[in-house]
Structure 1
Amino acid sequence: MPLIGYARVSTAEQTLEPQLRELRAAGCALIHEEQASGADRSRPALARLLAQVRPGDTLVVVRLDRLARSLSHLLQVIEVLKAKGAHFRSLGDPIDTTTPQGTFSLQVMGAVAELERALIRERTRAGLRSARAQGRIGGNPALKAGDREALRKLRLARDETYVRKLEGTADAWLPLVRRHRPDMAWDDLARLLNARTGRDGPAWSVERLKRAARRYVRDGLLPPTVLDRAPRRAPDDRLMAIVAGMRHADPDLTLAGIARRLEDMRERTPRGSAKWYPSSVRMLLQRADRMGMVGGASEGQRPLP
């Protein structure tokens, strides 16, 4: 199992040597070195590492804080590794996703992170309600004066808020983008996502989805190929790609359920009708299966009806 090390320091005055010694002693033949703040998610060396990692590889760090400063960012990186069939190990922490105990520890950390986000949201709302009740109006004098440092901090804060919002919705959109781009056009993917999520939160527009994907590509959490132009497809090929995507995203979804989602997306049948029947969905799924667009039993899918 190839071990790939990642070592990071924040400033030029710090040295990587202690980390390098520990990583080499752990068996890492290849080590990616970086000088960057832990709060900065746009780290070129980390992005290259995530782009180059292969199935069976294990990313190794000396401590968790060398990889990420926030639990949410750590979980996102590990999700990328998991999607590529790779693993993660921290030498100074009980995290090793090649073992059941290490995986359990990671799951506990994920649950704690979700609870922490919920508590922060509630404290923020309570603080705003209290301020309004006391007649206080928010405002930053430095911002009003156009102070450059204050404006820079504001941009960073807004960026961090945007990233956190993306992380809160990643379970819905990230797997679809990772699986279907660039084979599926952005507008089809946005409609597929909206049909799947229903009325939970604001609708996903093409631009909102593209912006999210571009941010994750910039942070090394998605490959740049997801931003490539989608190939032109015949109408029937589009429909096959859409129903295949629905089936892969939700293997337990019935033919009637797929039909209802296609109607919600305002897709017309191959014959031009606005009304979808299970038999029409079955026909498209069977054709998609023959073309290799639908995963088989080895991927955990039910047999096609």
Structure 2
Amino acid sequence: MRLIGYARVSTAEQDLAAQRAALEAAGCAEIVEETASGADPGRPALGRLLARIGRGDTLVVARLDRLARSLAHLLAVIAQLQARGVGFRSLSDPIDTAGPSGTLVLQILGAVAEFERALIRERTRAGLAAARARGRRGGNPGLVARDPAAIARLARAREDARLARALPAAETWLGPVRCLRPTTPWPEVARTVNAGLPPGALTLSVARLKRLARSFVCHGLLDAAVLTPARRRGRAGGRFRAIELAAAAYLRGRPDATLAELGAALLRLGVRPPRGGAAWAPASLKRLRDRGRMVGLTGVPPASSPLPAGRVPRG
């Protein structure tokens, strides 16, 4: 288990030494440092750390305010980490998701956040009713006046809320998008992503997948190159890569699936054998399964004789 520290200060005049010393004393072999405001949603160092931290690792901070700009943001980030099997620890706060007490504190924080939202809703309704009784027009004065600064603040708030909703499920689509774009068209990327979704989950449309990718690009969590149009060169190779990832994504959620079940799932997704035909050959499916194990996408240890790099399964 790796302990990875994250240290942040708001300005260049502030010193990271105290945070660095605390994280080193806690046993962090790696410390990611950043100079950025806590209110900035596009902190690139934090975004890259959250994107690469893996199962079994633990993210460690000196204080909660070094990581999150609000309680809602904190809970969203921790939900994303827990969904990927990553632990979280704050050295100055009684929060450590590896133990029951830390989990209890998180549950209490979640209840407090919901209580706070309920109070805000109640106060807002009461304030609007009182304003109407005095004959005042409701709404944000800046938005009513079409103030550019107020409109920009609203747009940032909406984007932050959209990102908070998208973070917990990001691992279901972020990997395929990074691997396949921009060499592979969005429809094939969407099929690859949907192959790995758990049974009963809502599939992602091409439009929805593009919106998520644009949001992550805006926050520095994804390379902007994924949004460029798909290149014509290497399109066939991109399609084969999409087939490999679709098979690997399916097997990640169903590691005990038979080759027949894998072939049926690919056909349901509209993924046909590269050379045509109505059904996948067992040998091709076995090569797809071994290729997925080799690249570590299925959650199953690699086979003893994996498919060599660059080989394309034949249908």
Q: CA deviation at 1:164?
A: 2.7
Cα gap change, 1:56 to 1:218, in 2 (>3 Å): farther
Alignment partner of 1:89: what SS?
A: strand
Cross-structure match for 1:293 = 292
Query: What is the distance in 2 between the residues matched to 1:246 and 1:50?
Result: 24
Q: CA deviation at 1:154?
A: 0.9
Cα gap change, 1:91 to 1:224, in 2 (>3 Å): farther
Select which of 66, 75, 78 maps to 1:75.
78
1:250 aligns with 2:271: no
Matched pairs, number:
281
- Is residue 182–residue 226 contact of structure 1 (8 Å, CA) maintained in 2? no
Q: CA deviation at 1:159?
A: 1.0
Gaps of 5+ in 1: none
| Residues 82-106 of structure 1: per-residue CA shift (max 9 Å, x gap) | 67xx865321134456xx427x735
| Residues 130-155 of structure 1: per-residue CA shift (max 9 Å, x gap) | x9xx9x99643321212233212211
Matched residue type, 1:60:
V
Matched residue type, 1:293:
G
| Residues 146-195 of structure 1: per-residue CA shift (max 9 Å, x gap) | 2233212211221122113313xx43x52343256314733222124446
1:163 aligns with 2:163: yes
Cross-structure match for 1:92 = 92
Report the RMSD for the aligned CA atoms in angstroms. 5.1
1:154 aligns with 2:158: no
Q: CA deviation at 1:113?
A: 4.4
Alignment partner of 2:292: what SS?
A: coil
Cα gap change, 1:180 to 1:164, in 2 (>3 Å): closer
1:101 aligns with 2:99: yes
Q: CA deviation at 1:116?
A: 5.8
Cα gap change, 1:286 to 1:27, in 2 (>3 Å): closer
Query: What is the distance in 2 between the residues matched to 1:226 and 1:110?
Result: 37
| Residues 33-74 of structure 1: per-residue CA shift (max 9 Å, x gap) | 444332322113434655787999764321122111322343
Cα gap change, 1:232 to 1:192, in 2 (>3 Å): same
Cα gap change, 1:232 to 1:115, in 2 (>3 Å): farther
Cross-structure match for 2:61 = 61
Cross-structure match for 2:175 = 178
Query: What is the distance in 2 between the residues matched to 1:65 and 1:219?
Result: 19
Q: CA deviation at 1:286?
A: 0.9
Matched residue type, 2:247:
V
Alignment partner of 1:6: what SS?
A: strand
Cα gap change, 1:153 to 1:220, in 2 (>3 Å): closer
- Is residue 191–residue 246 contact of structure 2 (8 Å, CA) maintained in 1? no
Query: What is the distance in 1 between the residues matched to 2:53 and 2:302?
Result: 31
Query: What is the distance in 1 between the residues matched to 2:193 and 2:111?
Result: 23
Mapping 1:207-286, distance limit 5 Å: 207-216=207-216, 219=219, 221=221, 231-233=234-236, 238-253=242-257, 257-269=261-273, 272-273=276-277, 276=279, 280=280, 282-286=282-286
Gaps of 5+ in 2: 304-315
Cross-structure match for 1:46 = 46
| Residues 19-43 of structure 1: per-residue CA shift (max 9 Å, x gap) | 3553455466865544433232211
Cross-structure match for 2:307 = none
